[in-house]
């Protein structure tokens, strides 16, 4: 609440980000080289604050000479003083009289060749960039605010690390308005401008048209900054409902009405009301006849908006203020986020403080919804304490989870927040209420248990998730040899056989990865496992040959209980089934004759066989007569490049050889490709061919030989006749 704030004066962090990759944004008088949008904003009359870098090359040479002369490696006090003096001289030369009043120094960095300057118009920036002393200018881009104790207390950094930031959601903040020009909100020149502006809208419902509140102690600015800190991806719709520090029920209702009317335009998921009437309501004020907030609250919830309100700072132990007492409003009390020493407030004193101690000013009752950090909270450069600071923590949390679980109702979101909070007891009344815990509110992953494993679809893909709040089941194996403690499960059934690679690259934590087959967490057969695959971040990777139709069970765990956002990548390599047949003709044949091998190579698929090659290591003693096109011979080896063979295609070719000697000629050909081979057994074929010598030739008789043989035969026959008896 406003009356209990403690503003920290004089401490404003200048959050700066240079141009992308720290590149120089402008080096001459050409504004095209200036940061994007600067010239346009100057033309529109909006002054611009820029970080300036001066040319200190001469100073660096002098410093190097001083170091060399004194034999030191680092600047000592004397050199630091020398630098500061020379920097002042350098910067003074870059302040010509003609730019007086047009370029102002917002902040000088005495020990750097840099300054933070405000430029009033395009002309002043052009002239300044033309100065020889100026090297570059950089845009003062934002870094989102960090609430030193409160965010770690509610586990916001761990939740944001899982990618849960409220992206796409908007919180309507009904308050004193907002200074949206601050870096905490994206240094907006107007709502939604430039692209990094986190203010979706800034409206005034008081009639005074105050849509930009530059009050350095602004209550609404601090409250909106807390929402942005909890939900750095969400946007703010700032609704100014205060004039001179006061508002009215009619104005607050008007603000709720605006949020309802614009719910779709901005995806408003929550309304924050860090305000109240100061009265004590000892029971829920649900009577619509006496409580004017009942209907507006109900209508807001009806369109999916969760109203959140501060319980009040009057120190009641048995009642809270309105509108927090209204049923349907998430009423929020305050706890300290750390030991901040003794604190005295206008209504009470906490002589000691500690994290999760209920603040003495925080209104409490049996029907307050929950607790959240409220003292002391610094956001957007402003420090305050009160239930006003507790409420926006919950509103920001609502944005985080409505972004992550868009289908949830306000009741479901609130149940998520209250059902997981850290129980805190208020010693004044013994009431125990949950303190906001974003990480616990996330709940366990849906695939925490083996029986709830998620099925992966497709032979290749990527899936994201997290293992926050995951557990290990009884008798679950130690994945990759580490006890882990936060495993999540998937299943995958490939449609074809072949090698597969699975990894967790892109995950935000040190992972463990294991693959099994089996029917239960106690009946698993290990297939492959890995702790670290050498990729950045200690992620894991493995590969194995998968068989079509087999369910593979995939576990991802955190090394020694680590957790974070999970990225699971899987991909099955294409596979083909090549086979080869061959015949040889003639068979048999004689040495020196031509033997022709007819070869057929086919691909049964399913994938294309890339870079297919047939190789024939010829038997000893044969010479190549001819080959089909695409074949080459070297060193007795014939190589035929068949290129890529689609599934269900075949290629025929011939190799003709001539054997030099007789014997059995055995020849084997082999086919291969760069694609994984499903059945390598039929990637070769061979035949044996007989090579034989011809029968010896019979000498031919000359004519006189034939005559002599006839005479001898005739004489022999006559001799036999004479020897026969009569």
From residue 300, give the alpha-carbon distance in Å to each of 261, 295, 399.
10, 8, 15
576-691: CATH topology is Immunoglobulin-like (2.60.40)
Residue 151, preceding peptide bond in cis (omega within 30° of 0): no
Residue 388 annotated to the active site? yes
Note the pLDDT tens digit of each residue in 47-94: 888 878 889 899 989 988 988 888 876 667 788 788 889 989 998 998
Cβ burial of 668 (10 Å; 0-12, 13-18, 19+) is middle
C-alpha 102/C-alpha 211 separation (Å) is: 27
What is the reported pLDDT for 724?
Answer: 59
Q: Topology of 450-573 in CATH?
A: Jelly Rolls (2.60.120)
Nearest to 3 by CA among 369, 216, 277: 277
Confidence (pLDDT) at 226: 96
Q: Rounded distance, CA 464 to CA 445, Å?
A: 12
Q: Given this model, what pLDDT does residue 2 score?
A: 39
Catalytic residue among 115, 219, 274, 365: 219
* 684-691 β-sheet, strand order: 631-634, 637-645, 609-617, 663-672, 684-691
Query: Mean pLDDT in each 10-residue stretch from start to end of the chain (726 residues)?
Result: 34 25 38 71 85 86 88 75 89 88 82 82 89 81 41 89 94 95 95 96 91 83 96 97 84 89 94 93 87 86 93 96 96 95 92 96 97 91 91 97 94 96 97 97 96 94 95 96 96 92 95 97 96 93 94 97 95 92 96 97 94 96 95 96 97 96 95 93 96 74 71 69 61
202 is catalytic: no
Residues of the chain with CATH 2.60.120.380: 450-573
Predicted model pTM: 0.66
Domain with CATH 3.40.50.200 in the chain: 150-442
Q: Which CATH architecture has domain 150-442?
A: 3-Layer(aba) Sandwich (3.40)
Q: What order do you get walking across the sheet with 170-175 strand by strand?
A: 199-204, 235-240, 170-175, 268-273, 306-310, 330-336, 370-375, 432-435, 422-425
Cβ atoms of 552 and 527 within 8 Å: the answer is yes
Distances (CA, A) of 609 to 507, 512, 579: 34, 34, 11
Q: Which of 274, 322, 365, 388 is catalytic?
A: 388
Task: Give yes or no: 111 in active site.
Answer: no
What gap in Å lies between CA 557 and CA 178, rounded to an integer? 44
536, 558, 470, 541: which is closest to 501 by C-alpha? 541
Lookup result for tokens 């404003």: 12
Which residue ranges does the chain devote to CATH 2.60.40.1510?
576-691
The reported pLDDT for the residue numbered 693 is: 83
- Work out the end-to-end distance of the chain between its first and last CA atoms, rounded to an integer number of angstroms: 164
CA–CA gap between residue 562 and residue 485 (Å, rounded): 8
Residue 702's pLDDT is 72
pLDDT value at residue 314: 93
**Three-class DSSP category at 449:** coil
Residue of 56, 175, 204, 337 marked catalytic:
175
């Amino acid at each position: 609440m406003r009356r209990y704030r403690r503003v920290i004066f004089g401490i404003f962090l200048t959050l700066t980000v240079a141009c992308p990759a720290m590149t120089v944004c402008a080096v001459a008088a050409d504004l095209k080289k200036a940061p994007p949008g600067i010239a346009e904003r100057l033309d529109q009359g909006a002054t611009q604050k820029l970080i300036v870098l001066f040319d200190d090359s001469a100073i660096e040479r002098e410093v190097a000479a001083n170091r060399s002369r004194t034999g030191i490696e680092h600047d000592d006090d004397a050199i630091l003083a020398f630098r500061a003096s020379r920097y002042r001289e350098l910067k003074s030369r870059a302040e010509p009289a003609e730019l007086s009043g047009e370029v102002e120094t917002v902040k000088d960095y005495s020990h750097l060749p840099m300054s933070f300057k405000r430029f009033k118009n395009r002309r002043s920036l052009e002239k300044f960039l033309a100065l020889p002393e100026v090297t570059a200018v950089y845009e003062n881009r934002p870094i989102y605010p960090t609430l030193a104790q409160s965010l770690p207390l509610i586990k916001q950094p761990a939740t944001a690390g899982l990618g849960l930031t409220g992206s796409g959601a908007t919180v309507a903040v009904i308050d004193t308005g907002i200074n949206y020009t601050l870096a905490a909100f994206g240094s907006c020149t107007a709502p939604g401008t430039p692209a990094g502006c986190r203010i979706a809208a800034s409206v005034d419902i008081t009639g005074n048209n105050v849509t930009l509140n530059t009050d350095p102690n602004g209550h609404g600015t601090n409250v909106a900054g807390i929402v942005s800190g909890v939900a750095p991806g969400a946007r703010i719709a700032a609704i100014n409902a205060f004039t001179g520090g006061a508002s009215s029920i009619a104005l607050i209702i008007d603000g709720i009405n605006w949020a309802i009317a614009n719910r779709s335009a901005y995806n408003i998921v929550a309304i924050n009301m860090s305000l109240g009437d100061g009265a004590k309501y000892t029971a829920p004020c649900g009577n619509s006849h006496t409580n004017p907030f009942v209907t507006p609250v109900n209508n807001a919830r009806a369109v999916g908006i969760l109203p959140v309100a501060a319980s009040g700072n009057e120190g009641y132990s048995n009642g809270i203020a309105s509108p927090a007492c209204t049923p349907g409003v998430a009423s929020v009390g305050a706890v300290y986020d750390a030991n901040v020493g003794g604190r005295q407030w206008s209504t009470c004193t906490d002589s000691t403080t500690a994290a999760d101690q209920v603040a003495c000013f925080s209104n409490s009752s049996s029907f307050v919804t929950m607790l959240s950090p409220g003292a002391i909270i610094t956001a957007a450069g402003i420090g305050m304490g009160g239930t006003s600071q507790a409420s926006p923590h919950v509103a920001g949390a609502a944005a985080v989870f409505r972004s992550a679980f868009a289908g949830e109702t306000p009741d479901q979101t609130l149940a998520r927040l209250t059902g997981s909070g850290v129980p805190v007891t208020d010693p004044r009344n013994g009431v125990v209420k949950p303190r906001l815990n974003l990480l616990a509110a996330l709940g366990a992953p849906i695939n925490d248990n083996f029986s709830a494993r998620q099925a992966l679809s497709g032979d290749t893909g990527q899936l994201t998730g997290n293992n926050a709040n995951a557990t290990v089941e009884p008798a679950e194996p130690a994945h990759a040899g580490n006890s882990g403690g936060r495993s999540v499960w998937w299943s995958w059934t490939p449609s074809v056989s072949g090698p597969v690679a699975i990894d967790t690259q892109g995950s935000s934590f040190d992972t463990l990865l294991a693959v099994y087959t089996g029917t239960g967490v106690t009946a698993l057969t290990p297939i492959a496992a890995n702790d670290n695959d050498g990729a950045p971040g200690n992620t894991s990777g493995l590969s194995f040959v998968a068989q079509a139709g087999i369910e593979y069970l995939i576990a991802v765990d955190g090394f020694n209980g680590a957790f974070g956002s999970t990225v699971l990548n899987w991909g099955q390599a294409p596979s083909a089934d090549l086979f080869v047949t061959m015949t040889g003709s003639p068979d048999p044949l004689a040495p020196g004759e031509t033997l022709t091998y007819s070869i057929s190579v086919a691909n049964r698929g399913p994938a294309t066989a890339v870079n297919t090659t047939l190789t024939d290591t010829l038997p000893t003693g044969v010479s190549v007569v001819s080959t089909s096109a695409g074949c080459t011979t070297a060193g007795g080896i014939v190589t035929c490049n068949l290129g890529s063979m689609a599934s269900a295609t075949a290629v025929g070719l011939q190799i003709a050889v001539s054997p030099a000697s007789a014997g059995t000629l055995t020849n084997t050909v082999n086919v291969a490709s760069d694609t994984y081979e499903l059945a390598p057994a039929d990637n070769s074929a061979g035949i044996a061919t007989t090579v034989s010598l011809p029968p010896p030739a019979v000498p031919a008789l000359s004519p006189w030989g034939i005559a002599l043989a006839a005479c001898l035969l005739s004489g022999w026959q006559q001799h036999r006749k004479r020897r026969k008896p009569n």
